[in-house]
Structures are given as C-alpha cells and as structure tokens.
Amino acid sequence: MFGTNEVPDQALLKTVNRRLVRTGTGSQSKVTAAVQRGTVTLSGKLQYENQRNSIVKAIKSVSGVRQVIDQLQSPPKRNPHGT
C-alpha cells in the first residue's frame, strides 16, 4: 500500500479542518474539505480571491496530505464604478 506514513482519512480530515479554522477562513468564507486516501478536496466560496493561495498552501503543509484539489469558488467581481 502507501507505507507506514499514511494518515487515516478521518484523522487527516480533523487536522485539515483545524488548519482551516486557524487560517481564519471558517467564519469569513464557506470552505469545506473532504479527504480520500490522503487527497484533500477543498470546496466552497471564498470571501476574497486572495485567500485562495494561503488556504491551499496551509493545507498542503499538513502532514499526510498527498494532494490538494482546489474547487474553491471566487467571489463575483464587483464593478469599481458601481454600474
């Protein structure tokens, strides 16, 4: 299989969710994570586009994460002129 360093998906999901809370995305944005065989799929809506890189980077750094699939949705672009 994957070797002795594999983290069970349930434990990995718990760690990933804690990391999401620490990045400050829990209350501001509706980001959820799903884990399957070490692959984390992030979905939901971002409050600001510039959150994407920090969220993905934070999740990639979690021990046991093999891959991150980014399915996050950007907020709609606003017209700066209000038209």
Give this prediction's pTM. 0.82
Q: Residue 80: what pLDDT? A: 65
Quote the CA–CA distance of 33 and 39 in Å, as a whole number. 10
Q: Residue 61: what pLDDT? A: 96
Q: Residue 75: what pLDDT? A: 82
Q: Residue 44: what pLDDT? A: 93
Q: Residue 26: what pLDDT? A: 54
Q: Which residues of the chain have pLDDT under 70?
A: 1-5, 25-29, 79-83
What is the longest distance spanned by two Cα atoms in the chain?
58
Quote the CA–CA distance of 78 and 73 in Å, as a whole number. 15
